[in-house]
Amino acid sequence: MSSEPDLTAEPEEHQHADDGGPQPEKHCGHGRGGMGEEVTRKEDKRFITGRGNYVDDIKKPGMLHCEIVRSPHAHARIEDIDGSRAMALDGVVAVLTADDLLEHDLATMPTLMDDTQDVLVNDKVKFQSQEVAAVIAEDRYTAKDAAEKVEVEYDVLEPVVDAEEALEDDAPLIRDELDDQEDNHIFDWETGDKEATQEVFDEAAVTVEEQMEYQRLHPAPIETCGAVADWDPGKDKMTVHMTSQAPHAHRTLFSQVSGIPEHKVRIVSPDVGGGFGNKVPIYPGYVVAAAASYVLEQPVKWIEERSENIQTTGFARDYDMTGEIAATEDGVIQGVKVDVLANHGAYNAAAQPSKFPAGFFNIFTGSYDVDAAYGSLTGAFTNTAPGGVAYRCSFRVTEAVYLIERMVKVLADELDVDPAEIRRRNFIPSDAFPYESATGWNYDSGDYEKALDKALEMADYEHYREEQQRRIAEDADKLIGIGISSFTEVVGAGPGKQCDIAGIEMFDSADLRVNPTGNAVLRIGVQTQGQGHETTFAQIVAEELGMDVDDITVEHGDTDTEPYGLGTYGSRSTPVAGAAAAVAARKVRDKAKSIAANELEAAEEDIEWDRESGEFHVAGAPDRSITITEIAAGAYMNSPGNEEPGLEAVNYYDPPEMTYPFGSYIVVVEVDRETGEVDFEKFVAVDDCGNRINPMIIEGQIHGGLAQGIGTAMLEHVTYDDNGNVTGGDFMNYLLPTANEIPNFETGHTVTPSPHHPIGAKGVGESPTVGSPPAIVNAVVDAMSHAGTSHVEMPMTPDTVWEELDEVGLSISPSENVSFEFDDGASEEPADD
C-alpha cells in the first residue's frame, strides 16, 4: 500500500472496499469523505436554514451607522462642504470630511498597485460617485437622510471617460496632484521577444489581425461590501468585521495605514456572499468606518448599496485589445502579437501582483506551441471608478484567453480550416510538459487534445456542422453557429518569488489540530466566499489521515486565530492552501506513526499506513492495527517519551510553480436573422483541474462560472455617458443573467494531475468564466462567418447581432405575415427600414 496518492489515477474510479460508510451513494470513495467523494456541503445547513452570518448581520451595542456622501460629478473641484444642516438632524452624531481624516493621517490610502487614493476627497473629485463626506448617525435611515443634507459646492471640470481620448494631447489632466504626472498615461508594459516575433511575422505566409474590446464589467456579488469597525479603547484594539477575500493581507494594510500595531488589529471575515475579486481591494468605506469608530469610540457599521457597489468598487476588464497571428498556409501558428490599451479609472487600483502590472496577461499564447510572442500594454487614467480586479480571473488571464481563442477562430476562418482541426495542429503536445511558453511561463501538465476530443463527442459536433450547412443551403431564417474554446489558465499564485499583494508574498497556510477524542480542527489562511472550503478542505484531511470528513471542522476568516494567509482569489485556495492542508496532515501522520509504534509495541520502521482503511498497522500483520482516533488518544494520554504530547502541525506552503488547468468548451447557438436573438442549442464544458477533491462542488463551480460567462458575452457592460455618469450602474441597467438566459449545461472532465502539487490538484473556480466567453462569441461569429463576419463585440445583445447580420447581408425583415392592429381597426404593414 503506498501512502502517497497515485497521481495518475482518477480518484473517483479507484478500487475500494465496500466498508459501508455513511451515505455510500454519495461517499463513493473510501466512504469517509476523502478525495473524489461527492460530500454534501457542510456549510449549506446554516445557509439553507437562514443561519448564515454576514457582515450586515453583525450588531453591536451602541453601534452607529455610516452613510457616504458621493459626488454627482465625474470631475470637479470641491469648493466647500457644509455639514451644518445634516448635523442639525436628530440622531446625527458626526459629519466627516477629508479635513477630519487629515488630522489622523487617514485622508488617503495606498491602493494595491502603490497608487494613493483619497478616502474622502480632499481637493478634486475624479469619478462620479466618489466618496466626498461621511455621515455618522444612530440609525441607517437618519444617516441616509442626513447625507442628502450635506451641501457640497463643486467647480465642475471637463471629464474624460474613454482611455483613448484620455491619452490625447488636449485631454483634461486627471491626476494633477501628482508632481511628475503630465498626462493621463500610467504605465507601459511589454513581454516576450519583440524582434524575434517581428521576424516571424515578416516571413510568415499568412497573418491575421483583429481588434476587440473586453468591455468593463462588474463582479456583482450578491452581498455588497461593508464593515463593522469597533475600536476598543480599553484594549487599544481595532476589530473590523468586513467583507474580505484576504483578511490577513487586509490586517497588515490596515495596520500600516492606521499606525495601529498589527497585533492590535483583528479582521474578521464572516460568511461572505460572493467575492469574485470584488472583495480583494480595500475601499474607502472600510477606512471611514474604522476612522469613525476610532474617533467616536463606538462601533460603526457601513454597508454599501447596490448601485454604490457597481459604481465605485473594483470593476473588471476594460481592455481594448488588438491581436495578430502569423502562421503557415497549413495553419500552423508561428507567432502571436498583442497590443492593449487598458482603462484603469481614476487611480491605479488594480489587484495584481506588483511584478505584473497587467497581471498574467502574458499567458496570451494559450494552449498553443508558438515560436515567438510579443505583447505590449498601456494603462491610462480616466474619470471612471478605479479597478481592474481579477473578476473570476487570475489577474487578466480572462482577457488573454479571450484574445487568443478569438484569434484562433479568426485564423481558422481566414484559411477555411475547421476550428477544431486548427487547434489540433497547434496544441502543445501532451508529452511536451513541463512546457515553457514563449513568454516564459512553466506549464505543469496538460492533455489538450483529449479534452477537445471529449467535448467534440459530447457536443455531437459533426451533426451540428451538417445542420449548419443545411440551414445555409436552405436560406433558413435561423442560422447555426458552433464555437470552440480550448483554453489554458494559470492559477494558484505564488510562488512567492513571483507573486505578492502589496509586497507580501503569496504563500498560504494550514494549521491542523487533532483533539484527544479523535476529531480535528483545520485552520486555513484562505477565505471561502461560497466555494465550499469548509467541506473540501475537510476532505483533504479526511483523505490524508483516514478520518471521517464529519470529524473535521474547518475554520477561516479570523486573523486572531487563523495562520497568516493571502486569501482566496485567482483560484489559489486549492493549489496553495490545499497543498498546505495536505502537507500539515502528512506531518500529523508522521507523528501519528511514531505514536502508533508505541501503542502497538512495534518498531516505527515496521509501521505502515493504509490509505484504504485509514489505519496504521504492523508490517505483515494487518490485524495488529490502530486508527487515528486511537492514536489521538495516545498522543494526549500515553505519548511516547521521544515525542511531545499533542497531535498537531502547521504548514506554510510556497508553491514551486502555478497550476495550469484547462478545458474545451463547445457552444452551439441559433441566431435569428430577423431579430438578432441568440439561443443556446448546446453548451458543453469539459474541464481538467487535475485530481478532483469534490466533483459535486466542481460541477457547481462550473455552472456558476458559465452563467457569468454568458452574462459577459451576452448582457453585462458598465457604461458611461460623456459627462462621466455611470449609465449601467444598477441592476436595471447592468443586466445579470437570470435562470431564463441560462441553458442546460453538459459538463465533462478529464484528469491530468499537477505533478508538483501534493495531491495533484489544480484550481478550477475561474475556468468557466475564463473559458466560456470566447466559445460563445466564436459561436455567434461562426453563424455568420460564411458571409464574411470576423468579429462581434460583447455584450452580444440582439441589436448588436442584428447590426452585424445586416452588415453582411444576412438580416431579413420582419415576417410578412405580421401586421400591427390599431384601435381604429386599420392595419399597417411593418415599415422596411
Place of cell 460568511: 271
| 264 lies in the binding site for Cu ion (CB under 5 A) | no
Measured from the CB atom, the residue of 12 and 606 that comes closer to Cu ion is 12
List, in sequence order, every residue forming a beta bridge with 505; answer none if it has no partner.
500
| Of residues 387 and 760, the one with the C-beta less far from Cu ion | 760
- When binding is defined by CB under 6 A, the residue of 212, 338, 341, 761 that contacts ligand PCD is 761
Tell me the number of residues near Cu ion by CB under 5 A. 3
Q: Is 274 in the site for ligand PCD (CB under 6 A)?
A: yes
766 touches, from ligand PCD, Cu ion, none (C-beta below 5 to 8 Å by class):
ligand PCD
The C-alpha cell that represents 565 in the structure block: 494567509
Residue type, 180: D
- Please say whether the beta carbons of 138 and 93 come within 8 A: yes
**Which H or E element spans position 296?**
helix 284-296
Cα-flanking dihedrals φ and ψ of residue 192, to 5°?
90, -170
Strands (E), 410-557: 435-436, 442-443, 478-488, 500-501, 504-505, 508-514, 520-524, 552-555
Please identify, among the stretches 82-90, 198-206, 664-672, 691-699, the one whose residues bind ligand PCD according to the rule CB under 6 A: 691-699
Rule CB under 6 A: choose which of 64, 161, 228, 698 binds ligand PCD: 698
- Taking alpha carbons only, the member of 292, 319, 288, 289 closest to residue 301 is 289
Helical segments of 427-575, H only: 448-459, 461-473, 533-545
Q: Is 572 in the site for ligand PCD (CB under 6 A)?
A: yes
Closest to Cu ion by CB, 243 vs 691, is: 691
Decide: 128 and 71 in contact? Cβ < 8 Å: yes
Residue nearest to Cu ion (CB): 16
Q: Binding of Cu ion at residue 33 (CB under 5 A)?
A: no
Cβ-based nearer residue to ligand PCD, 74 or 658: 658
Query: Which listed option, Cu ion, ligand PCD, none, makes contact with residue 574 (CB within 5 to 8 Å by class)?
Result: ligand PCD
DSSP state of 657: S
Least separation in angstroms between CB 21 and Cu ion: 10
Residues 6+ apart with CB under 8 A from 358: 189, 340, 342, 352, 377, 379, 396
3 state DSSP class of 606 = helix
Q: Which range of residues in 155-163, 169-177, 262-270, 562-570 is near ligand PCD by CB under 6 A?
A: 562-570
**For ligand PCD, which residue of 258, 573, 629, 752 counts as binding (CB under 6 A)?**
573
State which residue, 175 or 396, has the beta carbon closest to ligand PCD: 396
Selection from Cu ion, ligand PCD, none that 30 binds (CB < 5 to 8 A by kind) is: Cu ion
Q: Considering the rule CB under 5 A, would residue 29 count as an interface residue with Cu ion?
A: yes
Please tell me the distance from the alpha carbon of residue 807 to that of residue 805, in angstroms, as a whole number. Answer: 5
For residue 752, state whether it binds ligand PCD (rule: CB under 6 A): no
Task: Out of 27, 30, 337, 409, name the contact with Cu ion by CB under 5 A.
Answer: 30
The option from Cu ion, ligand PCD, none interacting with 616 (CB < 5 to 8 A, set by class) reads: none
What b/e string do you get for 287-321 counting C-beta neighbours within 10 Å, with b at 16 or more?
Answer: bbbbbbbbbbebbbbbbbeebbbbbbbbbbbbbbb
CB of 5 to Cu ion, least distance (A): 11
Backbone angles phi, psi at 546, to 5 degrees: 70, 25
SS3 content of the chain, % helix, strand, coil (to 5): 30, 25, 45
Kindly state the smallest distance separating residue 42's Cβ from ligand PCD, in Å. 11
Task: Please say which residue, 533 or 593, places its beta carbon nearer to ligand PCD.
Answer: 533
Torsion of CA 587, 592, 593, 595, to 10 degrees: 140
**276 makes contact with ligand PCD (CB under 6 A):** yes
Output Rg (C-alpha) for the chain, integer angstroms.
28
- When the beta carbons of 16 and 513 are compared against Cu ion, the nearer one is 16
| Catalytic residue list | 245, 392-393, 766
Which residue, 762, 694, 777, 706, is CA-closest to 447?
Answer: 762
Q: Are 39 and 122 in contact (CB under 8 A)?
A: no
Q: Are 32 and 614 spatial neighbours (Cβ–Cβ below 8 Å)? A: yes
Q: Which three cell numbers stand for residue 385?
A: 471608478
Q: What are phi and psi of 561, to 5 degrees?
A: -120, -30
| 3-state DSSP assignment of residue 12 | helix
Minimal distance, residue 269 CB to ligand PCD, in Å: 12
Residue placing its CB nearer to ligand PCD in the complex, 36 or 192:
36
Looking only at the bridges linking them, the beta strands covering 372-380 and 333-343 are: parallel
Residues 688/764, Cβ–Cβ less than 8 Å: no
387 binds ligand PCD (CB under 6 A): no
Is there binding between residue 692 and ligand PCD (CB under 6 A)? yes
Candidate list 701, 712, 772, 790; residue touching ligand PCD; CB under 6 A: 701
Binding flags for ligand PCD, 240-269, as an x/- string (CB under 6 A): -----x------------------------
Residue 16 interacts with which of ligand PCD, Cu ion, none, CB < 5 to 8 Å by class: Cu ion
Q: Which is nearer to Cu ion, 16 or 306 (CB)?
A: 16
Choices 129-137, 227-235, 337-345, 532-540; region in contact with ligand PCD by CB under 6 A: 532-540
Q: Which does 29 bind (CB under 5 to 8 A by kind): Cu ion, ligand PCD, none?
A: Cu ion
Binding interface with ligand PCD (CB under 6 A): 221, 245, 274-277, 390-393, 529-533, 536, 568-574, 689-694, 697-698, 701, 704, 761-766
| Residues in touch with Cu ion (CB under 5 A) | 16, 29-30
